[in-house]
Each structure stands twice: as C-alpha cells, then as structure tokens.
Structure 1
Amino acid sequence: MAIAPKPKFEKKDHHVVPKLWQKRFKAVGDVGPYYLNIITGEKLGPVGPGVKMSEVYVNIVFDEYFRPSDELEDSIAKIEDKAVEGLDYLIANGEIDDKSRCDIAMLLALQACRYPERFADRMELGKYLAIALKDFKNLSNVSELNSAIAQTGMLPGASFTEAEFARLKGADEASVSHELDDILALHGYEAHYNPGLIISATTTVASHLLALEWKLVHSPTPAFILSDRPVPMQVGYGFFVGLTASYGLKITKPVETVATGKICSQEASEPEIDEINAQVRGRAQTLICGPGAWVHEL
C-alpha cells in the first residue's frame, strides 16, 4: 500500500501569542512594541515581534507514520488571521460590533486553549481519569459513576451519559486494562492524541466568553500591555486583558442577560488601566510588551 506524501514541515518557532496581536501594542510610528523580560530584566524596543512569545515546536503534530507536520500550526494561524480582524475593527471604530465581538472572543479563547502547559495538564488529567474509570467499572449505574467522579474533583460539573456508562460496562477487563496501558504511555505526539484536541475547544470557550459581560475601556494615551500569558488558562467568569495599546477589556459575570449589539468604549480611569495591566503582568511567564519605554519599569 502506498504511503501518503510526506507532510509539510517547515516551521520551528511557534508563537504562543500571535505576532499580529503583539503588533497592536506598538505606538504610532514605532516599528514594534517595547519589551521587558521580567525574569532577566532585559529591555528591548521598539522592535518587531520576531520570535518573541514563541516556543520551539510547541504545536508540532505527527501523522500516523510519526512524521512531523505543520498542520496544527497552520490551522492556528488561520484562526489568528480571522480573529485579529476584530481588533482592527476596534482600532478603526472605537467600538465592538457583533462580528468583531465574535472575532475577539475567538482570539481570547484560542489563547486560553493554546498554552503548552494546558495540554500537559489535560494529558495528565486524562491519565488519572482513565485509572479512575477502570476502578469504577463495576459500579451499578451512571448515577453512581458520576457521583464517584465528582468526589475525585477531576472534572467539576462534568457528567457521563447512560450510553457512555454502557460502553464502559460492556468492555471486558482485558480490553480496559490494555486501553489503560495505552493511555498511560501517551506522550502527546500521537496522530490521534495531540495538542489539536485542546485547540478544538476554542469555539466552545468563545461561546462561553460571549455570554459574559464585556466592558470596553479606552485610554487616549496608549497605556495597555500584553504578556506571553495574556489571558488566564482557566477563563472562569471574569478576567481583564489589554486588547490593543489603547483599549482594554473587563470581562465579568453578568447579573442579567447579555445584550447583543455594539459595545461602545468608555474612557479608562487610571486605576482601571493599572488594574488591567496588573492582571496581564501577573500572568506573564517571561515577557511583557507595550507602547512605550515605561513598560521597562513595570
């Protein structure tokens, strides 16, 4: 049988935060933002993003013949290109409409899903869950299974269906043991189990974000920063983030049904700017960037 053509594999440095997003944090007339390495204190700028906020082969995937591929990195780039349209609408109009809100929600959701440590955490959770399911195979019904899983604290709010419980009960012990061994041996590069599984959750996370309350704030003088971990890994029901050098976003749990339509910006107070930037910097692992040399003092 003929083997499929060798997949495209050309990219080494994979951005954890899109270059296109970093570029929206430069001042007018500058070639790029100012950067600060919060670990070493190194100060750069204004410079282009280059390979900043990237990691080597972080989005690498392999085909069934264990040949490396750019497939996941390329698919992420397509989502980025579309999502950044929302930022450009905001910059041009000073507001967010329904379409740009969806674009920005996808950008934020993709960011939350793409962190390398998120996939590592999910893979470890999957292994613990597999062990638990083998132990819980002999429970009487799906209610007992869901109760037992809830007590482990691994999947808050999740529940198994009757059909899923029937599949578990119907599997013989040898098959379950064999599958458990396979799961415990996973390293995250398999054709059937790789970071693409986490990225595929982007739309679901974006839908969650769209159901929350958004407050858009504007600074007449560019004042917001971006970091290499701009949004939290667990978005929950609220966080603050800089969208561009001049616009920040405060996402909170709504007290009533969220209305659709345009979101107009409000002038940001100094405490609001500080609060948003403090959250963004607090999540940073190594780098922050922004539209002025003042970033070097944060």
Structure 2
Amino acid sequence: MQTSTAQDSESITVQPPSFVELQADLPVNSGSSCSAVVVFLHGLGDTSEGIMSIANSMRVDPGLNHVKWILPQASILAVTGNMKKRMPAWFDIYSFELPVRVPKPGEEDEAGMLRSIVSIDKLLESVVASGVDANRIVLGGFSQGAAMTLLTGLTTAHKLAGLFVLSARLPLRNKFKSMASTHASSVPIFWGHGTRDPLVSYKLGRACADFLLTEIGLPKAPYPGAPEGLSFHTYQALTHSVRDDELDDLTSWLKKILPPLEAAQHTSN
C-alpha cells in the first residue's frame, strides 16, 4: 500500500477549511488544559453550526472535558444530483442512487474528494503544529462528512487516535487499496448505521465496512465499542440521522480513545 494520498496530491492548490472551535469544557481553576481534539465533519447541505448541538451533547460529558472540538465548514458547490443547487458539500454527488457494488471510475467526483482530502489534511497538520499529537486527535463525521473521514483518516500520513463514521459509505473503493496508508489497518473506527437509512442504505454501509475488514485488513473490534479495530453498530429503525442511543455509544467510545492525558500516560507506562 502507498503511504499518503494527501501527500501525493500536494500539487492541488487548496486551503484548509474554515471552522468553528468549541474549547475544552474544563472546570474553573482545575489546572488542566486541552489535551485532545475531535474534528467533526458535517454532512451534505449542513454547516458547522448545524452540527454544534450534536458536538455539545457529547462535549459536556465529564469524561471529555479535556477535549477541544473543531467543526470545519465545507465549501459551497453546485450538486449535480440535486438539480445543481448550491449548498455546502465536501464533493459533488452525481446521483443519490448509491450502488452497493463498487462504483466504476468516473461514477464519483474523485477530483473533488481529493481536494477535500488535502484540505482536511492541512487542517490536521495545523492541529499537530499547535502541539497536539496526532495520536490525540479523532476525526469523525456524518454522511458525506463521514465519507471524507474515511478517505482522509485512512490515507493521511498522521496516525490518528481513531475515526468515527455515522451513516457512512466509503467512496473510491475501486482504487482505495492503493490509497490507504501503511497504518490504516491499525486505526480504530466507530461505525454507526441505521437499518432504515434511505440515502446511504444499511446494506451499502455494511458492504463498505466489510471492504475495510477484508481488503484493507482492519481487524473486527473484539467487542462492541472496543477502542481497537472496527466496531460496527447497528441501530434498528434509524433513518439517515443520529439519535441519543447512538451518541451515547459514541461518547463511551470516545472516552476510551481519548482518556485524560494523565490516564493515557499511566496506561502506557
């Protein structure tokens, strides 16, 4: 496998996305500081402000009060599959009839995806440059943001603490094996998907997760919510959205992936 598509695409001139920042919710006079970051990518047509309530519902958990949240904002694009309406999008969608089979070359907006990989990777680089180790950064997203989470998090040269993907699919499966980083198979993933999702079908989500297990070599999590491997969570009757039990499961997973720095150092010693 090659190392980094983000690195291989440096000739693409892009800037990191703008973002909203939610500071760590540390107790007053605690003497502690932010020691971890979650970068959370919104879905098609949404905004960083639009997912702020979801981020805040997890951010207020006392076990995550050392974590800063960064909510990037996608550029405005004319989306082909939505009658060319202009909206926030990480890449173009040619059709909303997403096949379970591996799409053929040209059926996806590869150029747009590569631009967003480079843009998001530049944001990750800025977080690392600010003093946060890559192994203390989780990248996650919903729907199209989750697709970009997989494309970026499994191709970047930075080995991240983990990825979470909600109502997701993996684009570019026709070439993803050549894109994946050498450490892609060791990145923990939380995957949540509803059985009644009408946009990214449960069958498609499951097929993409299985692709990562069989083709990229990610191990299956030893138990639901484990801090290693790919942990696939099925939510009965959930449509293309998130709900409280899914966010509760994700919060529990995040607390295992990003414990307070003192606890993480104690575990490693």
- TM-score over 0.5 for the pair: no
More helix by share: 1
- Of structures 1 and 2, the larger Rg is shown by 1
What TM-score, normalized to structure 2?
0.30
